[in-house]
DNA sequence: CGTGGGGTTGATTCTTATCAATTCGGGTGG
DNA sequence: CCACCCGAATTGATAAGAATCAACCCCACG
């Protein structure tokens, strides 16, 4: 089996020894395919699993009383989906896949295994959760303090950064309605505002593709500060006794 | 020493055995007093500690480029402050105290102690973090999908619930400007909107006091659903081998 | 007494939602 | 192969909600 996605993800921050890799690989023993739009878990269902996303994109959402939907997280390959619900009786959010994807359902009890067997991996999971929170917080700031254009700009730069995408062009498999539901905007206004960003020669979003024309300008316009994404966990580095040299 | 605040908080969910209590009590060895408005930690400072709040209220905030401030969390007695920053190099938010308070700074490395010594406490911390996230998510929904009146109503009901306040009247040591910064509203609009809620005989907020006149009406108006606050962690109950009967 | 912070209220402006009409492109069935 | 349909995107017109600006009150505090 190729090196598991989550190992690769965690290896961004720290090198893992073989035991740790083995523990993590055990998370991905049963990859399952999902096709675009498929729901992995509904809100209200018992939260028996979380999932590592090996390929494809996903999102977590909540349905609101008036039929609206709030998108809470966007999941990229290598991320853990549904970690936050694991401790609680019932899932608070629905997890759906945006593209055809491969994800590995992971029974929740094994997380306590990890707590018991590897404090270092525990710290990594803790870190992953903290990272998730940082993104949520940035979204709160984005939604409550920036106008539509800045919000979209910020969102696009965040996606580029989280994808570790060097090129100025990349896929964004979300339609304007989902983007709106993530940023608290109507799809109509998303359309209008993307046009503005195009007209200002900052970024062009079309046909599920993003083409950044002026990254510097866009970043400045969005007041984007990448700090919240970097998470060189001190914990993990410090605990890094058995590691091989970084890749 | 009286039973520590954090033990009391965690005991809501699970009974702790003596070892666990001892580990947790160690978190609160050095209570420090802070006076209203005092800053415990600035964003950008190294995140060397987190804090358990023994008495008083606190909040986490971020300063924005234009001089605005976003309030991220409201902390109540028994909560852990700054947990989310612990794994990262620099604190992402400023922690300030709203009232005269007692808090216990807790050096971050000891969290890894807990990871090593007690998987069960680890799960509790994990749970606390997940709880924090749930509240953030509810805030995102609140800010992006509800209008000012609903937002304020929701916020007030949340506070009542989180305080485990049975009475229909309680202290709320926040001025309208801070409330606004938490909910993405201008202080002027907070004032106006609170008047509306008063006029509708739902709730009256005056002089740092909340008086709920119609809890049922307010809850319905806010579309408040308490699910996200309950967090009877399955983890912890399951791992509950050494416990004494619940208090 | 003056001063300043917090709160209230009114008038105006700005941003975004909502409603409606149109286009475009990709499928589908005849 | 063509007519049709549907979802997504665009664009315009209007309306709602909240920010902003400004004036004023109240009260605690020096």
Q: Chain A, 31-70: which CBs lie within 7 Å of strand C?
A: none
Whether B237 shows a pLDDT value over 60: the answer reads no
pLDDT-derived band of residue B240, with 50, 70 and 90 as boundaries? very low
Using the beta-carbon criterion (under 8 Å), do B129 and A130 form an inter-chain contact? yes
Whether the pLDDT of residue B62 is over 60: the answer is yes
* Statement: residue A36 has pLDDT above 80: yes
Mean pLDDT (chain B) is 89
Per the model's pLDDT, the better-predicted residue between A67 and B57 turns out to be: B57
State whether A133 and B129 contact (CB < 8 Å). Answer: yes
| A187 exposure class (CB count in 10 Å sphere: 0-12, 13-18, 19+) | middle
Lookup: nucleotide whose C1' is closest to B174 CA = C6
**Who among residues 165-184 of A has its Cβ near strand C, under 7 Å?**
180, 184
Model confidence pLDDT, tens digit, residues A82-98: 999 887 888 999 999 99
Nucleic strand C within 7 A of Cβ B194: yes
Cβ contact B191 with chain C strand, < 7 A: yes
β-pairing, A80-81 with B203-206? unpaired
How many angstroms separate the CA atoms of A30 and A26, rounded? 9
pLDDT of A157 strictly over 50: yes
Retrieve residue A101's tokens: 């994807």
Whether B36 sits with its Cβ under 7 A from any strand C atom: the answer reads: no
| Higher pLDDT pick, A45 / B245 | A45
Q: What is the DSSP string of chain B?
A: -PPPHHHHHHHTT----HHHHHHHHGGGSS-EEE-TT-EEE-TTSB--EEEEEEES-EEEEEE-TTS-EEEEEEE-TT-EESGGGTTSSB-SSEEEESSSEEEEEEETHHHHHHHHH-HHHHHHHHHHHHHHHHHHHHHHHHHHHS-HHHHHHHHHHHHHHHTT--SSEEE----HHHHHHHHT--HHHHHHHHHHHHHTTSEEEETTEEEES-HHHHHHHHT--GGGT----HHHHHT--SPPPP-
- Residue B56 and residue A90: Cα distance in Å, rounded? 32
Most distant CA atoms of chain A, gap in Å: 55
pLDDT at B243 over 70: no
What's the CA B190/C1' D23 distance, rounded, in angstroms? 18
Closest-CA residue in chain A for B82? Answer: A130
What percent of chain B stands above pLDDT 70? 92
Q: How confident is the model at residue B69 (pLDDT cuts 50, 70, 90)?
A: very high
Give mean pLDDT, residues B75-91: 89
* Predicted pLDDT at B28: 77
Residue A246 banded pLDDT, cuts 50, 70, 90: very low
| Amino acid B130 CA to nucleotide C1 C1' distance, rounded Å | 54
In chain B, the largest separation of any two C-alpha atoms, in whole Å, equals 55
pLDDT score recorded for residue B230: 74
- Does the nearest atom of strand C lie within 7 Å of B192's Cβ? yes
């Amino acid at each position: 089996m190729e090196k598991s996605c989550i190992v690769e993800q965690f290896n961004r921050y720290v090198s893992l020894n073989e035991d740790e890799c083995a523990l993590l690989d055990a998370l991905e023993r049963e990859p399952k395919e999902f096709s675009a739009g498929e729901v992995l878990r509904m809100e209200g269902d018992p939260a028996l699993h979380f999932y590592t996303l090996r390929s494809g994109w996903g999102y977590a959402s909540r349905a609101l009383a008036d039929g609206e939907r709030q998108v809470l997280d966007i999941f990229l390959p290598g991320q853990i989906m549904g970690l936050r619900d694991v401790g609680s009786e019932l899932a608070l959010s629905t997890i759906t896949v945006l593209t055809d994807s491969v994800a590995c359902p992971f029974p929740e009890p094994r997380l306590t295994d990890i707590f018991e067997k590897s404090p270092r991996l525990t710290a990594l999971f803790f870190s992953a959760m903290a990272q998730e929170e940082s993104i949520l917080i940035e979204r709160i700031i984005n939604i409550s303090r920036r106008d539509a254009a800045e919000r979209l700009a910020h969102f696009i730069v965040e996606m580029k950064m989280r994808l570790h995408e060097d090129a100025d062009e990349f896929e964004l498999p979300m339609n304007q309605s989902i983007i709106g539901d993530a940023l608290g905007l109507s799809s109509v206004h998303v359309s209008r505002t993307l046009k503005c960003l195009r007209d200002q020669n900052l970024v062009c979003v079309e046909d599920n593709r993003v083409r950044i024309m002026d990254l510097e300008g866009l970043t400045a316009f969005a007041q984007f500060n990448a700090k919240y994404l970097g998470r060189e966990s001190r914990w993990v580095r410090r605990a890094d006794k058995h590691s091989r040299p970084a890749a």
